[in-house]
Chains A and B, each alone.
Chain A
Amino acid sequence: MQATPPRLDIFVDNISVTYSNARLALYNATCTVEPGAITALVGPNGCGKSTLFKSIMGFLQPSQGQVRVGGFPVQKAQKRQLMAYVPQSDEVDWNFPVSVFDVVMMGRYGYMNVLRIPAPKDRRRVMESLERVDMADFRHRQIGELSGGQKKRAFLARALAQEGKVILLDEPFTGVDVKTEKRIIDLLMQLRDEGHTILVSTHDLASISTFCDRTILLNRTVLASGATADTFTADNLEMTFGGLPVGRVRQISQRPKQPSHQTEVDA
C-alpha cells in the first residue's frame, strides 16, 4: 500500500442520477468538498442528499459524471480504506442479530486477512472507537436495543474504526437529542482538526453555522456551495427550500454575497 496523501478532497463532477422509476433525482451536480473541513449538505427532504452521498460512495452508478476522492476513482479510494460512511437510520436493519461490537468490527474488515480474523490491533481500534463515542458499555447490546442517539454513535464508531480520511454522515442528527447532537458535533470538530474531510447532510439549519466551515445547498442539483458565511444566506435558503425555476437559481447563485438578510425572492 502506498502512502496516502494526508488531505483528501472530494470532487463531484457533473453527476446525474436517474432511478428506475425514471425520475431524475439529481442532475448536473458539481461541487468540491474541501479537505480538513466540515461541509454541510443542506436541502429539503427528497432533494437528493442521500442520492449524492450514494453516488460519492459508489453505491449507485450515476448516469453521467464522475467522482474523485483525493484524485483517485472512488473504488480505488475504498480499497485503500479512505472512505467511511455513516448511513441514514432507515437504511439499517435494526433487527439483524449483530451486536454493537460486531458492527464496529465490520469497519476493520478491510485491514484483515481473507478469513477476517481480528488481530489484537483490530480489537484495540474497535475499543478505542467505542470509547471515543462513549459506547463501550453498550458493546454487547444487539443494535436494535439502543436509543436513536446510541445507534448513531455505534455507526460513527464503525467509521472511526475504519480510520477513513473521508467521512460521510447522512443525517446524523435526525432522531437524536440535543445532548448527543452536541457530542457528535464536538467529535466531528476534533476529527476535522485531525485533518479529516467531513461531509454531513442535515436539515437542522439552526446548528449549521455553529460548526460547519462550508455549506453546499442542494435541491436536485447544487444550487450554491462555498464558505458557510457566504453560502448560508436567507436568499440562498429561500431558493433551496422554496423551489425556484433553474434560470433564476443560476442568477442568484452567481450573485456576490448579499449583506442583507431580507428575502426578496417571491416564489
Chain B
Amino acid sequence: MNDFPIAALPLWDWIVEPLQYGFMIQAIWVSAFVGLVCAVLSCYITLKGWSLMGDAISHAVVPGVVVAYALNIPFAIGAFLFGFGATVAIGYVKSKTRLKEDAVIGVVFTGFFALGLVLVTKIPSNIDLFHILFGNVLGISRQDIIQTLIAGGITLALILLRRKDLLLFCFDPNQAKAIGLNTQGMYYTLLSVLALTIVAALQTAGIILVISMLVTPGSIAYLLTDRFDRMLIISTIASVCSCVFGTYLSYHLDVSTGGSIVVLLTLLFILSMVFAPKYGVLAQEFRKRSHGAFEEKHNQQVFINKS
C-alpha cells in the first residue's frame, strides 16, 4: 500500500474522515448491503451458468426505469417488471425458434436496452442516463434506499428459505423433478430474485457493472473452495469488502464508485486465479512440475491429469 498517495495520511484518518458526511455513511452501508445480496445470489448464478442472463436483465431494466418515472411509480417496480419480462421473452423466443440461447438473449436484451434509450431521450423526465448506466450511490435518495432495501431483503429471504432446493435445482434439475419438486417454479423463483437483485444493485453499480457484482464474487469463491457453504462465506467477504473499500476509494480518489468497487473485485479475482491453493494457476503449474519430476524418476508410469 506504500506507493499509494493517500497512505501518507494515517490509516485512521483515511477511514474516519469520510464518515463525517451523512451521504458517505449512507453510501457505505447501502453498498455493503448490496454487496451482501449480490454475493449470495452470485454463488447460485455462477454455478447455474446464468451470467449472460444476468447481463440481459440488467440492460433490459432501462425502459422500465424510464416508464416508471413517467408514470410516477417507484423505479424498482418498473425495472423489475421489464427485467423479468425480458427473461420471459427470452424463454418464449427460445422455445419457439431453433436459435441457440445466447443468440436469443443477445437479440432480446439489446432490443429492450435500445427501447430504453429511445424512451429516455423522448420522454421528458429528470432521469440522468449516466446514473442509470453507472450508478450513483453517493447521491442516492432516501426513496431509492428504501426500494433497494426491499428488493434486496426479498431476495435474501427467498434464497434463505429455498437455498437447498435452489442448489439442487442448479446442480441437478432432473433430480429435483424426480423427487416431485416444482422445477418450473424454481426456475422462475431464481429468475425473479436475479431481477430483484439487479434492481437493488442498480443505484450502486449501475446497469453496466452490475453483472460484475453478480458473477465475480461467486467466481472468486468457486476458485477457492469445493464446498458450497464455504463458497457463500468467501463470496460474501470478497463482495462486501470490495463494496466498502471501493466506496472509500471513490471518495478519496474522486473516482466512480461502481468503477472502483468492480476494480477491487477484479483484483481479488486475479489474486485468487493466480494463488488459489488447488485451482490456481500457480498450484496447477506446481502440480504439473512435480508430476513431471516424478515421471522422470519412474519413467514407466503414466499420469493422467484429472480434468
Residues of A participating in the B interface, judged by any CB pair closer than 8 Å: 20-22, 54, 57-59, 75, 78-81, 83-85, 87, 91-93, 96-99, 102, 106-107, 109-110, 114-116, 142, 144-145, 158, 162
Contacts and interface: CB of A to CB of B under 8 A. Distances in A.
B171 A98 contact: yes
Nearest to A92: B172
Contacts of A87: 172, 174-175
Nearest to B183: A59
A109 B165 contact: yes
A20 B98 contact: yes
Contacts of B287: none
Contacts of A145: 306
Contact of A162 (B179, B181, B227): B179
B226 interface: yes
A255 B156 CA distance: 64
A209 B170 CA distance: 38
B26 interface: no
27 contacts: A20-B98, A57-B174, A75-B180, A78-B177, A78-B180, A79-B180, A81-B180, A84-B178, A85-B178, A87-B175, A91-B174, A96-B47, A96-B170, A97-B225, A97-B227, A97-B231, A99-B226, A99-B227, A106-B172, A107-B175, A107-B179, A109-B168, A109-B179, A110-B181, A142-B226, A145-B306, A162-B179
Chain A interface secondary structure, helix, strand, loop or mixed?
mixed
A213 B54 CA distance: 50
Given A87-B172, A92-B172, A97-B226, A109 B177 contact: no
Given A85-B174, A97-B228, A106-B172, A116 B179 contact: no
A85 B225 CA distance: 28
Interface residues of B, number: 24
A58 B181 CA distance: 12
Interface of B: 47, 98, 161, 164-165, 167-168, 170-172, 174-175, 177-181, 222, 225-228, 231, 306
A21 B98 contact: yes
Given A20-B98, A96-B47, A109 B178 contact: no
Contacts of A116: 164-165
Contacts of A21: 98
A6 B65 CA distance: 58
B184 to A, nearest CB: 11
User: Which of B170, B180, B222 has most chain A Cβ within 10 Å?
Assistant: B180
A158 B228 contact: no
A22 B227 CA distance: 40
A109 B164 contact: yes
B161 A114 contact: yes
Contacts of A85: 174-175, 178
Given A109-B165, A110-B179, 5 more contacts: A57-B174, A85-B174, A87-B175, A92-B172, A116-B165
Nearest to A164: B178
A115 B164 contact: yes
Contacts of B222: 97
